[in-house]
Structure 1
Amino acid sequence: MEVDEGLYSPIGVLAGAFFLRRRNRANRRLRTGCRGDYGLGVGKPWFPMRTWQPRAGTLSWLRAVVVIGMAAVCVVACSSSADSPRETERPASTVTADGFVVESAAITVSGSAGVAPVGTQVSVAQESMSSPVGTAMFRPFDGSAFDVRLAGGDLQPQSPIHLQFSLDAGNVEDRLREGATLVVLARSATGELDLLPAHWDGASATLNTNTTHLSGFWPGWLDVGAVRQGLADGIAAAMGLRSAKPECLGEPAETASVMLSVSPVERDVAWPCVDVSGGKVTVGLHSSSPWVWLVKTSPAVSAFEVHGKDLAGAVAAGIFYEAEIGKAQGASVLVPGDTTTFPFEASAPPAYGQMQVEAGLSLVSVVLAEISAAADLFGVKLGLVDDLIDNSGKLICLATVAETLNGVSEADFAARAGALGRATLDCVGSIGGVAGAVFLGAVTGVVSALFASLGGLWNALTGQDRASFTVTATTKTTVVSDHGFGAIELGMTADEAKARLSPVVRDVTYYGRCRVMSNKPDTIWDLSVWINTTTGRVTGIETPRGTVTDRNVGDGSTAAQVRQAYQRDHTIEEGNIGGQGSSAIIVRPKNSPGLGRYICFPITSDGSIGPPSVGRPYASEGC
C-alpha cells in the first residue's frame, strides 16, 4: 500500500518471538460480518438484492401499482424537510485523461491521470453503519461508511486515490484534545481490515488519506483511553490463565532398580511429571502460572528445549535464549502455557528442582503479546517473528529492559515502570509498516501509564516468587515370576526391554543370534536380558545376587524350600538340567504352561539355590 508520507509521522513500535502461536480468545474475534453478506467491500452488493420473476397475467396490475407508487414517492420526496435523515448518496463520475473527481456533501474522492483506463466508471456509496470491528478502541465519526469502486468493483487503482471526508470540526478537535489518533479504517470485500493514516485539515474541516486499494472506509479515531483499557484487560486475562492438570501428574516411573516419584510444586504453579524412556529419566514441568520461571535442578540439566505455545511464551523464550539469561547459574526456563522437559541419566536421577519468577521477562513478554493481539483486531500484522529473527539485537535490548525491571523495588515501581514501558517499544523500533505505525502511535501514548498500572501484579509477587519440587528414588525389591523379572517380561521387544533395563551398560551378541543386554559389566550372576534376534523378542532373563521369586524363594534358599513353594500348582523337574548340564530345579505352571514360561533355580556346589532365571537356565548356550 502506498501512502502519502506527509500524512503521518513514523513512530517506534513493538516486539515478538521466534515461534509464534497466537492466543485465540473469544473476546478478541473480529466481527467482520456486521451486515451478513452485505457489508461494504469491492465486488459485494451494498444492499440485499433478490431476483423475482412475476407470474403470467400479473404484469398489467403491476404496472398500475408501479405508476401509483412512483407518484407517491414523488409527493413524499418533494414534501420532505431538509433536516430529514440522510439518504444513501451515490455520486458517480467517469475517469478522463486528467483523472477524476467525485464530490458529495460528505466526501470527495479524486484520482490523478493514469489512475484507471479512460472511461472507467467511478461510484461512491454512503450509508449509516456501525464499526466493523468489535472493539471500543476504534470510534467512527457519525457512523458513516463509504464504498468506493472502479468499474463496479472490477478494477483497483493504478495510483493512489485521495479520500477527503467532510466532518464536524468541533467533534474532531475535541477528539484531538483528548489525544486521539485520527485514522481511516478500511475493509475489503473479503473482510480484511487495514488502518490508514489520516491528516486533519482544520481550514477545510476535512479528514484526508490516500489509498491504493478500494474498500469500505470508515473515518474515525483510535480512542487512547479505550486502547489502554483494552490492553489492561488483555493483560489481566493473560495473568489469570491456568493450565489443566496433565494425566501424568502423580504417576510414578521405574527403572530396573528404582521407583521414581515427584512431589507437587508449591501453590501448583507447575504440574510436575516423571518418566523413564530410552535410558533417560525425564522430569516434565507443565506450566500452570502466567509468570516466566527460571528453573535449576540438582544435578543440573545437560539439555532442554522450549519454544512457547503462545505469543507471550514465544517472546519470553526468544529473549531467554538470545540473552542467555540464567546461563551462569545453570538455569533453564519455563514459560506460560508450555512444558519444559529436563533429561537425566537413569543412573543419576534428579533430587530436586528450585524455581524463581523472572518478573521482568514476564511483564515485557505479556505486554508485547497483548499489543500484538490488539493490533490483530484491526488487521494490522506487525511481523514480529521475522523482525526478531533478523534482529537478535532487539532481543538483547528487551532482556536489558527485563533485567532493569527486576531491580525495581515495590516503592519505586510506579515511578520507574513508565520509562521502561517506553524503552520496551524503543528496543524493537519501527515494525508493521504504515498500518503498524498508525496503531502504535496510539499505543505509544498509553504504554507508560499501562506499565505503571501493573504495580498491583508486581506487588502480588511478594513472598510468592519461589517454588520447588523434589524427586524421590526408592530402591525396588524386584522379584521373579514365571513370566518375567520386575518390569522386564518374556516376549517383550528389544526396545521395550532396553527402556526398562535402563541404563544399558553391556549390549553384545552371542552364538550368532542371541543379543544380550545388561545394566552391569559382564560378571557372574548379573542381570542379563536374552533376546532372539530372529524374532526380536525377549526369551530369557538371568537375575543378580539376592533375587527371589514372588513366593520368596531364590538366592540362598534350599531345594526343599523351592519344592515346598511350588509343589501345589507347578510341575517340578530336578537334576542335571541346568546350563551345560549343571544341577538345577525347573518349575512350570500347570494351568498356563506357555512356551518358555518357567523358572530355573540353579543348585550351587554347597547345595544351596543361586539366583533364579526365567525362560532359560543360567549359563546355557543358545537363546
Structure 2
Amino acid sequence: MELTLNDFTIKGPSTVGQGSNLVVSDEIPAAQAVVPGDVSWLDPFSPTVQITLDGDRQPGAPLRLEYRLPQGASASGPDGAVPVVVSRSADGSVDMVEARVEGDTMTADLGHLSWDVFAWFKPEEVVRELTEVVKPILGTGSPKPDCVDKPLTYPNLIKTVAPVEGNVAWMCIYDTPGLNTTEPSTSIGITINSPFAWRLSANPRALKVVLTDTDSGNQSLRALYRKMADTDQVAGPGDTVQMNFGQYEQGPRTGTLTRNSKMDAIALTAWAYEEVLQNGPFKGVFAALDVGPELVKCSGTRTDVGLGQWGADLKSCAQGLGAAVVRLVIGKTGVAFGAYLSEALSKTPTSATWTITSQTRTEQANQAPTSTWDGTVVLGRADDQYSVGYGTSKPETVSLNSLCANTISNIDWSTWGGSEAKGRGQLCAPAGSPESGGPVELTATDLGDCNGASAYRKLLIGGKQGWDICN
C-alpha cells in the first residue's frame, strides 16, 4: 500500500486499514500548527500533512513516512541537528520520533496517525535552555534573616553560633523554654542559602527538628530532593529549620550540613527538563508522564557514580520511559547537560559545620577593646558590647547588659567634669517589683585613668555603695 502527496509518501502493509480508506491531506488550519513558532530547538522544514483512516481509526501496523527533499536542499541540516518527525494527535498531545536520511529522502516509522511534519531537532539548543533555567537558581540564595550574628545573652553567659563555611546557610541562635531559668534551652535556626539539598545532623542530636517550606517557587525541586533522600530531614532551597536542644542545657553543640552532588545533578536535571518542556509543544506528553518523578525513579538510586556515568545511565534509562519525545530529548541532551552541571556543582562545598561557643561575661570583660578616648571625661568603661552609656560622656542612659534592674534612663547631669558628677534619672521598674523603680540620684566619683581615658571609676545609685565601673 502506498500513497503520495506533496513529496510525502506513506507506505504500509495491506492490513494497516483493515478495509478502511487511508487519506492524506495538506489542508491544515492555522490553529493546528504542530510546532509553535517560538520553539528554538525545533525547526520544521517540510509541509505538514494529516494522515487519517476512516472513522478516526489507528493503524494495526506501523506506517513508513517518507519525504523527498526539494532539489538543492541540504540533507544534513544545522550543525548537530537531528532529523525528526513531530506528530500532533487530535487530542492535542505531541510526540516526536527520530528520522533517517537515505539519499535525498527522510524516512520515519509512525505507530499512529496524526498531523505530521519533518523538522530539525537541535540538542544544543535544549542544553542552552536547560542551562538558562538552572543558572538563576545556582546563583541565588535566601535573604539574610535579622537574627544572624545576634548572640544569646544571660546574666552571666553569652552564647554565639558561628557561620557555616561558604554561607551555604544562615545561622541563628535562640532560647526556648527549658528547665533552667538562668539558661533556657538553646535552639538553632538554619535558613538554606543555597539551591541544593542539605542533610542535617547535630551533636548532641537535637531533641526536635521543625522544617518550614518558605519558597513555593521551588516546591517541585524540593519534592524531588526529599523523594531521592527518602527522608524529611533534608532542607532544600528556601527551607528554614529549627533544631531544639531541650535536654542539653550545658554541653557544647555542633552540627553538620552535607550534600550529595550526584543527588543535586539528578534533581536539577529533572526539574530543568520539566521547566523547559512543559510549556513547549510536548506539554501534553510531559504532563501525562510526570517526567520529573520518572527521572528520579530511573536514576535516583545511583548516587554512588560520577556525573559522566550518571549521564550515560540517564540516557539508557530514558529508553524505557514510554514516549518518543522523552527518549529522544533526554537521550540527545542528558550527557551534555550533565557535563555542565558537573562543573557548576563542583564550585559549591559538599559539607559545612556550625558550632556554638559559650563565654562568661568575665571573659568578655577581659577582652574588651581599648578605649578610643577623645580627651573628654567619660563614665567608666563598657563591660562588653551589650553595655549602654558606659565609656561615654554625660550619657542619657546607662545599662550593664540591657536588663531592667540595672538600666537607668532619662538622665540629666547637673554637674560634669569636676572631681565628681551628679545627675538624676529614672530606674527601670521590673514587672515583678514595680516599687523598686522610679526616680534615682546618681553620683559619679573617683576621677582618674580608666583604660587610657579620664573617667569616673565609681558610680553611686541612690546614695548606695558605689559600683566599680572601670574594673
Same-fold call, TM cutoff 0.5: yes
Segments of structure 1 that go 5 or more residues without pairing to the other structure are 1-99, 325-331, 406-416, 477-548, 555-561, 569-623
8 Å contact from structure 1 (residues 180, 221) kept in 2? yes
Q: CA 1:563/1:439 → structure 2, altered by over 3 Å: closer, same or farther?
A: closer
Q: CA deviation at 1:287?
A: 1.8
Equivalent-residue separation in structure 1 for 2:68 and 2:29 (angstroms) = 15
2:267 to 341, 346, 365: 365
Q: Which of the pair has more CA radius of gyration?
A: 1
The count of corresponding residues between Structure 1 and Structure 2 is 353
Matched, 1:231 2:130: yes
Q: Return the letter of the residue paired with 2:240.
A: T
For 1:210-225, list aligned pairs within 5 A: 210=110, 212=112, 214=114, 216-225=115-124
Q: CA 1:217/1:121 → structure 2, altered by over 3 Å: closer, same or farther?
A: closer
Q: CA deviation at 1:437?
A: 1.7
2:344 to 439, 450, 457: 457
Segments of structure 2 that go 5 or more residues without pairing to the other structure are 179-184, 362-426, 440-471
Q: Secondary structure at the match of 2:142?
A: coil
For 1:172-191, list aligned pairs within 5 A: 173-175=75-77, 180-187=81-88
2:224 aligns with 315
Equivalent-residue separation in structure 1 for 2:177 and 2:20 (angstroms) = 73
Q: Return the letter of the residue paired with 2:141.
A: R
Q: CA deviation at 1:220?
A: 0.9
Equivalent-residue separation in structure 2 for 1:388 and 1:174 (angstroms) = 31
Q: Secondary structure at the match of 1:271?
A: strand
Where relative contact order (Cα < 8 A, 6+ residues apart) is larger, the structure is 1
8 Å contact from structure 2 (residues 206, 244) kept in 1? yes
Q: Return the letter of the residue paired with 1:342.
A: M
Equivalent-residue separation in structure 1 for 2:431 and 2:28 (angstroms) = 94
TM-score by length of 1: 0.44
For 1:348-363, list aligned pairs within 5 A: 348=249, 351-363=253-265
Q: Secondary structure at the match of 2:229?
A: helix
Equivalent-residue separation in structure 1 for 2:322 and 2:274 (angstroms) = 10
Q: CA deviation at 1:137?
A: 1.9
Matched, 1:200 2:103: no
Equivalent-residue separation in structure 2 for 1:105 and 1:240 (angstroms) = 50
Equivalent-residue separation in structure 2 for 1:221 and 1:352 (angstroms) = 56
Q: CA 1:118/1:552 → structure 2, altered by over 3 Å: closer, same or farther?
A: closer
1:291 to 189, 196, 214: 196
Q: Return the letter of the residue paired with 2:246.
A: E
1:339 to 240, 255, 263: 240
For 1:334-413, list aligned pairs within 5 A: 334-345=235-246, 348=249, 351-376=253-278, 377=280, 378-379=282-283, 380-381=285-286, 382-384=289-291, 387=294, 394-396=299-301, 398-401=302-305, 405=306
CA-based RMSD: 5.1
1:512-558: per-residue Cα shift (whole Å, max 9, x none)?
Answer: xxxxxxxxxxxxxxxxxxxxxxxxxxxxxxxxxxxxx964698xxxx
Q: CA deviation at 1:307?
A: 10
1:421 aligns with 311
1:250-301: per-residue Cα shift (whole Å, max 9, x none)?
Answer: 788999x999875554554223455677978653422221334344323223
1:156 aligns with 56
Q: CA deviation at 1:238?
A: 3.4
1:443 aligns with 333
Q: Secondary structure at the match of 2:26?
A: strand
Equivalent-residue separation in structure 1 for 2:117 and 2:146 (angstroms) = 50
Equivalent-residue separation in structure 2 for 1:429 and 1:114 (angstroms) = 26
Equivalent-residue separation in structure 1 for 2:430 and 2:207 (angstroms) = 41
2:44 aligns with 140
Equivalent-residue separation in structure 2 for 1:118 and 1:427 (angstroms) = 38
Equivalent-residue separation in structure 2 for 1:223 and 1:200 (angstroms) = 15
8 Å contact from structure 1 (residues 235, 370) kept in 2? yes
Q: CA 1:247/1:194 → structure 2, altered by over 3 Å: closer, same or farther?
A: farther
More strand by share: 2
For 1:92-171, list aligned pairs within 5 A: 103-108=4-9, 115=17, 123-126=25-28, 131-132=35-36, 134-142=38-46, 144-147=47-50, 156-159=56-59, 162=63, 164-168=65-69, 171=73
Q: CA 1:254/1:211 → structure 2, altered by over 3 Å: closer, same or farther?
A: farther
8 Å contact from structure 1 (residues 224, 442) kept in 2? yes
1:529 aligns with none
Q: CA deviation at 1:563?
A: 10
8 Å contact from structure 2 (residues 270, 292) kept in 1? no
Q: Return the letter of the residue paired with 2:320.
A: S
Equivalent-residue separation in structure 1 for 2:332 and 2:221 (angstroms) = 21
Q: CA 1:375/1:185 → structure 2, altered by over 3 Å: closer, same or farther?
A: same
Equivalent-residue separation in structure 2 for 1:145 and 1:105 (angstroms) = 10
Q: CA 1:103/1:305 → structure 2, altered by over 3 Å: closer, same or farther?
A: farther
2:417 aligns with none
1:72-113: per-residue Cα shift (whole Å, max 9, x none)?
Answer: xxxxxxxxxxxxxxxxxxxxxxxxxxxx97642243467876
Report the identity percentage. 20
1:453-474: per-residue Cα shift (whole Å, max 9, x none)?
Answer: 456435534xx55544445789
TM-score by length of 2: 0.56
8 Å contact from structure 2 (residues 2, 10) kept in 1? yes
Q: Return the letter of the residue paired with 2:26.
A: V
Q: CA 1:251/1:130 → structure 2, altered by over 3 Å: closer, same or farther?
A: farther
Q: CA 1:244/1:118 → structure 2, altered by over 3 Å: closer, same or farther?
A: same
